[in-house]
A and B are shown apart, each in its own frame.
Chain A
C-alpha cells in the first residue's frame, strides 16, 4: 500500500487527506456507541422520569430503548464481520473474543425482552416500575461487561487496529536517526569518566 502519509508524514493537502480515506473502515466501533449511549440514556431518562414524575422523560426513555434495540442489530452484524478479522492464532485475544461474542447475543436477548416489556407498558398506559428499572439496570450492567471485553480486544490486543502506532518520520529519512542510549548506560558512562 503506497500511502506514505500514513507512516508518519504530515498531511499537507486535501488530496493527501482523501488518499487516507478508506471505505473498509471497521463499522462495529461506530454502531457500538449507539447501543451503549441509547441503552444508558434510556436507563437515565426512565430513572429520572420515575423519580421526578415527568412523563416526557419516561417517553424519552422508551424511544431511546427502542432505538437501541434497532441499532444493536447492526452492532451485532458488524461485530460478526469484525470478528473474522481477529488474529487467527489461539490465545488470550481469541478467549476474549469468544466471551464477547457469546455475551453479545445474550445482551441482545435481554434487550429485546426488556423492549417488549417497555412497549407493553406503553400500550397499557402504565409507567415504569421499580422492577422494570432494576431489570434495565441489569441489562446495562451486562452491556458494560460486554463493552469492557470489546475494549480489551481493541486496546489490549489491537483487533482491527491497522497499526499499533504511527511510525516516526525518521523512518522515511535517508540517514539513520541517532541511536538511543538508555539512562542506565549514560549513568555508567558518567561514572566511568568520573
Chain B
C-alpha cells in the first residue's frame, strides 16, 4: 500500500477515517439545523443517507483496505456524497436566498441568517476525500492525470477556504463578540496560501512553514470546539437545557472541520 504507515494505518486508511469522522460531525450539525427548520422538505433527509453511507463504507475501507468490494462501495458512496452535497448547495441557495422575501437584495442578511450556504459542500468535500482515499487504497498514483498528493493538497486548500468563508460570515453575524472569533481568519488563511505554494513550488522551507501552519490550524479547531461549547454555556440556561441551546447556539462541531482538513493536509505532507 502507498505511503508510510502511522499508528498501524496507512495514509489512505487515515484519510478514509478522517472523512468518516468529519462526516459524522457535520451531520450532527446538519441534523440540528434541519431539525430546527422542522424538516419541511423531504430532501433535508438526503445528507443523512449520503453521509451515513459514506461513514459506513469509509470505515469498511479502513478495516478492509485491500477488499475490492469495500473500495467499490467507498467510490460509490463518495460519488453519491459529492452529488448530494452539490444538490444541497443548490437547495440552500434557492430556499435560503432566492426564494426568500427580498432575495438577492437582502443577500448579506440571508447569508448570515438563512441556511448556511457553504455547509452542504462539506459533504461534497468529504465525498471527494473518500474518492481520493479509494484511489490511493487501490495503489493508483494519480486521479485524472493529477498526482494523488496534489489532489489532496488542492482539496485541503479549497476545503479550508470554504470553512474560513462560512465561519467568517457567521462570526460577523456574531459581531466578533470574542477576540478568538477572529482565529479562523488568521492562521488558516495563511495555511491556504502556503498550501497553494506547496502545490506550485514545494521545497523544504515551504514544507516546514506549511506543516507548522497546519498544526496551528489543527489546534484552532479545538479552540473553536471549546469556545462553541462555551457559547452554549452563555445561552440562557447553558447546558442545563442542552437540546434547546444546541439548536440555538453556535454550530457545535463546525470548528472540527478545521482540525480535520488540517489533519488531511498533514497526512499528505508527511506521509505521501
Contact = CB atoms under 8 A, between A and B. Distances in A.
A102 B219 contact: no
Contact of B229 (A101, A113, A123): A101
Interface of A: 80, 83-84, 86, 88, 94, 97-99, 101-106, 108-110, 112-113, 119-120, 123
Contact of A83 (B218, B222, B239, B259): B239
6 contacts: A83-B233, A88-B237, A98-B233, A108-B222, A109-B226, A120-B270
B259 A86 contact: no
B265 to A, nearest CB: 14
B234 interface: yes
B215 interface: yes
B226 A103 contact: yes
A91 B94 CA distance: 43
Contacts of A83: 233, 238-239
Contact of A109 (B222, B229, B234, B240): B222
Given A109-B223, A113-B215, A113-B219, A98 B230 contact: yes
Contacts of A120: 6, 270
Contacts of B226: 101-106, 109
Which 8 residue pairs spanning A and B have beta carbons closest together?
Answer: A109-B222, A105-B226, A102-B226, A98-B233, A102-B230, A105-B225, A98-B230, A88-B240
A84 B239 contact: yes
Interface in B211-270: 215, 218-219, 221-223, 225-227, 229-230, 233-234, 237-240, 242, 259, 270
A62 to B, nearest CB: 12
A94 B238 contact: yes
B243 to A, nearest CB: 11
A112 B222 CA distance: 10
Nearest to A85: B240
Contacts of A113: 215, 218-219
Nearest to A81: B239
Contacts of B215: 113
Contacts of A108: 222
B233 A109 contact: no
B7 A86 contact: no
Contacts of A99: 230
B interface: dominant SS: helix
B124 to A, nearest CB: 26
Size category, B interface: 20 to 34
Given A104-B226, A109-B218, A123-B6, A98 B242 contact: no
B221 A101 contact: no
A110 B233 contact: no
A84 B218 CA distance: 28
Contacts of B7: 119
A51 B6 CA distance: 28
A143 to B, nearest CB: 14
Nearest to B219: A109
Nearest to A112: B222
B234 A98 contact: yes
Given A80-B239, A84-B240, A109 B259 contact: yes
A85 to B, nearest CB: 8
B37 to A, nearest CB: 26
Given A84-B242, A86-B238, A109-B219, 6 more contacts: A83-B233, A83-B238, A88-B238, A98-B234, A109-B226, A110-B222
Nearest to B4: A123
Interface string B194-211: 000000000000000000
Given A88-B237, A113-B218, A102 B229 contact: yes
A84 B229 CA distance: 12
A75 to B, nearest CB: 14
A97 B219 contact: no
B174 to A, nearest CB: 15
B136 to A, nearest CB: 20
